[in-house]
A and B are shown apart, each in its own frame.
Chain A
Amino acid sequence: MPRALLARRSLLAGLPLLAGTAEAAPDGSLRRVLDAGVIRLGVQVEGTAAATRSTDGSLRGYLPEIGHRIARGLGVRAEFVTVPRGDMLGLSQQRAFDLGLGGAIASTWLAMTALLSDPIMRFHLVVLTPHDRPVSGMGELATWRVGILDGRSFAEALREAGVEEARTVTYRSWEQAAVALTRGGEEAVIVPNYHAREIQRVVPRATMRFTLGEFWHCAMLRMGEHDLLRAVNVLLHLLRQEGQLPALHRAFFEQDPGGRRTL
């Protein structure tokens, strides 16, 4: 039996039991995905544990794994749309994909313009400097050139962490940030810990100095698409409950995704 039919059978079986839980009229977002038989997933592919492209051209990493599981849960096929850094919100609003994975750091700024799922991924912002340039706190970086990654969502996270944009220079990728670190001088970069790991792989003299707190990536949807949001949140809840999400998070990032994360 085709998977889509199985999903519809499951839906019919589930409706009588769950009729009391719905809070709003259907908005068509989930129906659109089910009818298409495919969910288009926007992913930033940046050569990190979050998402990378393997030699055969397929996507690998934590976010594609989560994407495949969400698609399987819905009974549809996953189709990945590669999103350049900083373009996740814009392309979401242009309907380039149904669900953005990664590139959406939970913030009230983003929540004013997009729907955010329950958190899918935890990370820390870390400060890297060359090994011979130790630094122990943001105050010491006042006169430094501080490299950060591009993207409004990332900028908001930095703002939350108390980093002033005026002292920063923006890079489009962790590779550019790595190059900046190799130049030496008064240079530090602030990146997510999973980017830092890649930077340290190519620039072994780059040293993690301190963190600026923990942050969460959420899946991102367009405003109004609550049917799809509810479905995604239920699936994330089950993935957490069954231990799949924590196991994947530990496997790719060597850290736990955190405790209760259901809104």
Chain B
Amino acid sequence: MTTHPALGRRQVLALAGVTLPTAGARATAPGDILRRVREAGVVRVGVWLEAPPWGGFDADGRPDGSEVAIARLLARDMGVGLRLVRVTARERVEALLQDRCDVLAAALPMIQPHTGRVAFSVPHGRVNTVFAAPPGLHLRSLGDLAGLRIAMAAGTMAAEMAHAMLPPGSIALFTPGTAQTVEALLLGEADVAVTYDWQLRDLRLARPDIDILPQLPAHSWTYGLATQLGQPDLQRFLNIFLFLRGLDGTLADIHARYFASPLPEGLRFR
């Protein structure tokens, strides 16, 4: 008997993974978290509330932000109550691993070492960081940053990555938050700011008189919902959830509300 080449290829790919011991098998998981959520009638979602527009507070002091909106949508679609678990940037992964939350909706970048420690859903957002400066300063390459003062928010992924890109002779100025990086630029304390593309867009809308341009791309990464390793039922649920809410436009609406821009290409389901 012979087999069709396409059939053989199909069998090879489809059957891969049947008996493989893997990373998920090594992780210690607290049982089936999706089932636990169903039975408890509540989902605990870890959110980072010091990072607007992903997570912060509204005028009435209630948690707000794009990731908070997704957490609320998730609980609604699961048909369970929502308990927001506040986490800091540094403890996001630990909060999951210590089982303090069931799902993380905290703009966790899908990069190493996170990808080896938690399981991600499909991505639902992208972060683009840039080196921004007034138009009088012409930055054509990273080398042009030499001798300049570069403001960046301490403790952020954007700062960590941008700092590693700086050429010798440049001066990194660490600010307490992303808003202060732009402030430093406006006050003349810095020549260049490491900031987000959406932040510059917001600034242009709020203060058209201020002229700061994104001059060099720094980094770009996607983020998704995260779960503990070894929770494939929950992970599959999250992917179906994002798929359906991507299709019906809800994710695009959330993105438009918090970032004043369409969902980035590649994250859309249609």
Give the B-binding residues of A (Cβ under 8 A).
Answer: 1-3, 6-7, 10-11, 13-15, 17-19, 21-26, 30-31, 34, 72-75, 106-109, 111-112, 115-116, 160, 213, 223-224, 226-227, 229-232, 234-235, 238, 242, 258-260, 263
Residue among B16, B38, B78, B239 with max Cβ neighbours from chain A (10 Å): B16
Name the contact of A21 in the complex, choosing from B10, B16, B79, B230 (C-beta under 8 A): B16
Contacts of B233 in A (CB 8 A): 115, 223-224, 226
Residue of A nearest to B241 (CB): A108
User: Contact at A112–B21, with CB atoms within 8 Å?
Assistant: no
User: Contact at B15–A10, with CB atoms within 8 Å?
Assistant: yes
User: Contact at B236–A229, with CB atoms within 8 Å?
Assistant: yes
- 26 A-B pairs, CB-CB below 8 angstroms? A1-B1, A3-B3, A6-B3, A11-B12, A14-B12, A18-B13, A18-B16, A18-B17, A24-B24, A25-B22, A25-B25, A26-B21, A31-B19, A108-B240, A112-B237, A115-B233, A223-B35, A224-B233, A226-B232, A226-B236, A229-B236, A235-B10, A235-B13, A238-B10, A238-B14, A263-B122
Provide the bound-state CA to CA distance between A101 and B16, in Å.
22
User: Contact at B1–A22, with CB atoms within 8 Å?
Assistant: no
The main secondary structure of chain A at its interface with chain B is helix
Provide the bound-state CA to CA distance between A30 and B23, in Å.
19
Query: Which of chain B's residues 1-44 have a Cβ closer than 8 Å to chain A?
Result: 1, 3, 6-25, 32, 34-35, 38
User: Contact at A10–B11, with CB atoms within 8 Å?
Assistant: yes
Provide the bound-state CA to CA distance between A43 and B25, in Å.
33
User: Contact at B237–A108, with CB atoms within 8 Å?
Assistant: yes
Shortest beta-carbon distance from B26 to chain A in Å: 9
Contacts of A24 in B (CB 8 A): 22, 24-25, 230, 232
User: Contact at A6–B20, with CB atoms within 8 Å?
Assistant: no
